[in-house]
Amino acid sequence: MLMSCTMVAIYGLAQVTISGKVKDNRGRGIIGASVSLKDSYDGGITDSAGHFKFVTTEKGNFVIIISEVGYVEYTQTINIDKEPVVLEVSLKEKLDELKAVTVTAGAFEAGDKKRAATVLSSIDVATTAGSNADITAALKTLPGAQQVGEQEGLFVRGGTGYETKQYIDGTVVNNPYYSSVPDIATRGRFSPFLFKGTVFSTGGYSALYGEALSSAVILESIDLPERTAANASISPLLAGAGIQTLAKNKKSSWGANYSYLNLVAYFNIVPQLVDYYKMPEFHNADFNYRIKTKSGGMIKYYTTFSYSELGLRRPDIDSTDLKDAFGLNNHNWYNNLSWRENLGKGWKMNLGAGYSTNRDDISQQLQDQQNNNVDSLPNTPWFTLKNYYIKNRQDLAQVRGVFEKKLGGISAIRFGSEYWYGYNRSEYMGYQSVVKDNLLATFAETDIYITNGLALKAGARYEYSSVIKKSNIAPRLSLAYKTSPGAQVSIAYGTFYQKPENRELIVTNNLGYTKATHYIANYQKTTNDRIFRIEAYYKKYEDLVKTYPAFNNAGSGYAKGIEFFWRDKKTFKNFDYWISYSYLDTKRDYLNYPGQLQPNFAAHHTASIVTKRFITNIKTGFNVTYTYATGRPYYDFRLNSTGKYYIADQGTTKPYNSMGFSVNYLPSLGKKDAKTFIVLFASVTNVLGANQVYGYNYSYNGQNKEPVLPPAKRFYFIGCFLSWGIDRSQDAINNNL
């Protein structure tokens, strides 16, 4: 008994207490962290305040190990003797791509990237009522975009349509829209189903892209298809068919599509305000080939060719008995080649090349009431302005290389270079002009993840243009901080440059880059199937092109505003909706403006509500979109006796109101033995028949003005889409239902 008590006393005297606190990088205690001595059974767990305490009989030097999920394991050698050991340890958060904050200031992302904040997928574009599967039309329901219906393009935050550029797999698309028709907007050339990812940057975009003063739409094409499939589409407007084949080893694929559109039947049913003497006719064909490399990389080639022609007449504003006859013939060919590869040891490579050519043959002719050409009209100074022809050809070839290196964790640096060769030849009434440009750009950008809750993106871009013989350096900087799970704040700053338009360079190449400086701050909260976002920005324009009294870079301007976005796919079963709102305050002095004015494409307030509801029992989806925008200004600029421009007339158009509706019925949904998968689709824009006024045109002497109206109050579409080999019906419902 005495021996037992002695042994217990000796054992107790040999014990040493090890205690302390485990904290995160913000000084907060970490709950449940494991604390142990290596090669020993002694250890403990931290409590709710991060404290731990245990005793050991070990002696000498030992390694203490502290670990917890989501943090970098901590090790330290300690000496265990007679005195208690007290430790205070800060664990570093383990950088995790799935948990890390992302920079969201100025950008809406969508797609299959793990860290993307899904806003619009290809299915969203197709099922947004009023968009008719046009990417730009769907993007107009997001904050920052203006409702401009009389010309093509995406007008963002006080910027013109020219200031937004589209990129496919890294290379710029020179002609993303069908060719312009006076006072009528044209749609984009590309189907949303070509792409797996979309970034709509309303400002502050990456240094890897340039030549876009206001905004960038960055599209990433799909890789290999799921399986071999064929498709067909039939409607009173168009007919098309295609095939996509996947190799047996699932390492390569090829596909081809063709469609033909003719509006003669449609215009016979739905009267138009304009008289089409040549019905709009479009031929479109495309081909793609994709192959997976041995190391898991991907090579993709895509080409598309389109041909279109149309002719229309309108009453001439300067006379009571004449007509303006406008004709357009367009050829467009676009090619894109990309190669994405993992090089090993943390290196990645992205190579790209593109070539496009676009030709427009345009004629403008005065005609009499019998539709005969009027070749002369004495004592009418405006006659020569309305009798002309233009032949315009645009070619763009480009190569691009981007390399990326992991820096440890998920931090990375990217750098590369690109070269553009642009050729623009224009012939106006026999007078020819050519603009050639060699544009070289180099860029570098780094993502630095300090913790999962704090990230920095910094970059810069250098460009040199041979046509204007000038260069620029554009810095970009963004910062994101996670405030709570799913919530973060981001700020962004950047300088952006863009060459003058070709129509200005035809007159003179004695111009410089136009410039915009962006300042952006936003807050975004993302939870399961819900997104809330609010963003404020200020944009300063410098060196805008003035065309009067001389062509120079004396223009300036600004744009500032606040935007709101909310999307909810959870509250109501099988119901998806989003709400967006934009406030814009902008003025600019450019072209022949007599001073800083609110441009005629900008509205102060714009709001959209998009709703989507699928009813499984009847296999039908219903989609409604409502968009409202306050009136836009319009001006009539006139030269006074001293040779200066002044505003002879001005005003504000009536507010823009439009409600779109679409319905899709899937009769083969749920039929496991179905051989053919069918989607029946119908849509109508401006259901309520609101009178849209986009602005006013003025006569040569300014005494007459006419409203710019859409060619018809509503646009109707009905079609049947069939596929064999793969059931796309679930996609047509909703990618999350």
Return averaged pLDDT per consecutive 10 residues of the chain, 737 residues in all: 40 74 87 87 86 90 87 89 91 64 54 43 85 91 94 95 95 94 93 85 91 93 90 93 94 96 93 94 96 93 97 94 96 97 93 97 95 90 90 97 90 95 95 96 92 88 97 94 88 96 94 97 89 95 95 97 94 91 97 96 97 91 96 95 92 97 84 76 94 95 94 94 69 42
Cite the DSSP H helix spans in 128-177: 135-139
Q: What backbone phi and psi angles, to 5 degrees, belong to 127?
A: -105, 10
Q: Which two tokens stand for residue 600?
A: 């005629």
What is the dihedral angle through the alpha carbons of 415, 421, 426, 430, rounded to the nearest 10 degrees?
160
Residues of the chain with CATH 2.40.170.20: 107-442+450-733
pLDDT of residue 735: 38
Cite the DSSP H helix spans in 61-110: none
CA distance 175 to 502: 13
- Specify the amino acid at residue 195: F
pLDDT of residue 673: 62
Stated pTM of the model: 0.85
Contact 109, 44 (CB under 8 A): no
Long-range contacts of 432-437 (CB under 8 A, 24+ apart): 433/506, 435/467, 435/502, 435/505, 435/506, 435/509, 436/466, 436/467, 437/465, 437/466, 437/467, 437/499
Residues of the chain with CATH 2.60.40.10: 2-90
Q: Where are the beta strands (DSSP E) in 547-595?
A: 552-568, 575-589
For residue 677, the number of C-alpha atoms closer than 13 Å in the C-beta half-sphere is: 18
pLDDT of residue 11: 40
CA distance 445 to 415: 6
Q: Return the closest-CA partner of residue 171 out of 301, 343, 306.
A: 301
Q: What backbone phi and psi angles, to 5 degrees, belong to 345?
A: 55, 35
pLDDT of residue 109: 47
pLDDT of residue 376: 87
> What distance lies between CA 438 and its chain's CA centroid?
26
Superfamily for domain range 107-442+450-733: TonB-dependent receptor, beta-barrel domain (2.40.170.20)
Q: Exposed, middle or buried: residue 689 (CB in 10 Å: 0-12, 13-18, 19+)?
A: exposed
Contact 24, 30 (CB under 8 A): yes
pLDDT of residue 10: 38
Q: What is the CATH number of domain 2-90?
A: 2.60.40.10
pLDDT of residue 725: 76
